[in-house]
Chain A
Amino acid sequence: MKAYSLRWRLLLGAAIAIFATLAVAWLVMTWLFDRQLERQAEQELRRDALELVGGLKADANGAIPMLDGPGDARFDTPASGLYWQVSGLSGTQRSRSLWDQVLPPTPADALDWHTRFVDGPFGHELYLLDRIVQPEGINDKVLVQLALDEEQLDAAGAEFGQTLALFLMLIWVALSCAAWLQVELGLRPLAHLRTEIAALRLNPAERLSASYPSEVEPLTRAINELASAREADVKRARQRAADLAHGMKTPLAALTAQSRRIREGRTENSETASDGLDRAIAAAAAAVEGELARARAAASRLSYQDAKAAPLRMSRRLISVLERTEKGMRVDYQLDVPEGLRIAISEEDLTEILGPLLENAVKFARREVRVGSQVKDGKTFLWVEDDGPGIKMSEMADLMVRGGRLDQAGGGHGLGLAIARELVEATGGTITLGASSLGGLRVEVSWYDAVRSIGGTA
Chain B
Amino acid sequence: MRALVVEDDPDVGNDIVRGLESAGYISDLVRNGEDAWFKGDVEDYDIAVVDLGLPRLDGLSVIKKWRANERNFPILILSARGDWSEKVEGIESGADDYLAKPFQMAELITRVKALVRRYSGHAAPTLDIGPLRIDTRRMAASLEGTPVPLSQLEFRLLNYLAHQRGRAVPAGELAEHLYGTSDADDSNAVEQLVVRLRRKIGPERIETRRGFGYLLADADS
**A interface residues with partner B (beta carbon < 8 Å):** 278, 281, 285, 289, 292, 296, 317-321, 323-326, 328-333, 348, 351-352, 354-356, 367-368
Minimal beta-carbon separation of B184 from chain A (angstroms): 13
CB of A292 within 8 A of CB of B151, answer: no
With A318-B88, A321-B91, A352-B83 known to touch, is A330 a contact of B153 (CB < 8 Å)?
yes
A137–B85 Cα gap in the complex (Å)? 120
Give every chain B residue within 8 A of A351 (Cβ-Cβ).
83-85, 88
CB of B83 within 8 A of CB of A324, answer: no
Q: For chain B residues 104-124, which have a beta carbon within 8 Å of chain A? A: 104, 114
Q: For chain B residues 69-113, which have a beta carbon within 8 Å of chain A? A: 81-85, 87-88, 90-92, 96-98, 102, 104
Residue of B nearest to A316 (CB): B149
Give every chain B residue within 8 A of A368 (Cβ-Cβ).
189
CB of B82 within 8 A of CB of A292, answer: yes
Contact partner of B151 (CB less than 8 A), chosen from A323, A348, A355, is: A323
- Known: A332-B192, A367-B189; 8 extra A-B contacts, CB below 8 A, are A292-B82, A296-B83, A318-B84, A325-B97, A330-B179, A332-B153, A351-B84, A352-B84
Minimal beta-carbon separation of B173 from chain A (angstroms): 15
Contact partner of B153 (CB less than 8 A), chosen from A325, A329, A355, is: A329
CB of B83 within 8 A of CB of A292, answer: yes
**Which 10 residue pairs spanning A and B have beta carbons closest together?**
A355-B84, A323-B152, A351-B84, A317-B88, A321-B91, A329-B152, A324-B97, A351-B85, A321-B87, A330-B179
- B30 CB–A CB distance under 8 Å: no
Give every chain A residue within 8 A of B114 (Cβ-Cβ).
326
CB of B82 within 8 A of CB of A289, answer: yes
A326–B178 Cα gap in the complex (Å)? 11
A285–B101 Cα gap in the complex (Å)? 9
Secondary structure dominating the interface of B = helix
**B interface residues with partner A (beta carbon < 8 Å):** 81-85, 87-88, 90-92, 96-98, 102, 104, 114, 151-153, 156, 178-180, 186, 189, 192-193
Give every chain A residue within 8 A of B96 (Cβ-Cβ).
324
A298–B90 Cα gap in the complex (Å)? 24
A219–B152 Cα gap in the complex (Å)? 55
CB of A321 within 8 A of CB of B151, answer: no
With A296-B83, A355-B87 known to touch, is A328 a contact of B179 (CB < 8 Å)?
no
Residue of A nearest to B186 (CB): A367
Give every chain A residue within 8 A of B90 (Cβ-Cβ).
321
With A285-B102, A292-B83, A367-B189 known to touch, is A330 a contact of B88 (CB < 8 Å)?
no
CB of B82 within 8 A of CB of A328, answer: no
CB of A328 within 8 A of CB of B152, answer: yes
A348–B104 Cα gap in the complex (Å)? 28
**Interchain residue pairs with CB less than 8 A apart (21):** A278-B104, A292-B81, A318-B88, A319-B151, A320-B91, A320-B92, A321-B87, A324-B91, A324-B97, A324-B98, A325-B97, A328-B152, A329-B152, A330-B153, A330-B179, A330-B180, A332-B151, A333-B151, A333-B153, A367-B179, A368-B189
A319–B153 Cα gap in the complex (Å)? 11
Minimal beta-carbon separation of A318 from chain B (angstroms): 6
Residue of A nearest to B151 (CB): A333
Residue of A nearest to B188 (CB): A367
A321–B88 Cα gap in the complex (Å)? 6
Minimal beta-carbon separation of B11 from chain A (angstroms): 14
Contact partner of A352 (CB less than 8 A), chosen from B85, B91, B153, is: B85
CB of A317 within 8 A of CB of B178, answer: no
Residue of B nearest to A319 (CB): B151
Minimal beta-carbon separation of B192 from chain A (angstroms): 8
Give every chain A residue within 8 A of B152 (Cβ-Cβ).
323, 328-329
CB of A348 within 8 A of CB of B85, answer: yes
Give every chain A residue within 8 A of B85 (Cβ-Cβ).
348, 351-352
A318–B50 Cα gap in the complex (Å)? 20
Residue of B nearest to A329 (CB): B152
Most chain B C-beta atoms within 10 Å of own C-beta, residue among A278, A320, A326, A329: A329
Minimal beta-carbon separation of B106 from chain A (angstroms): 11
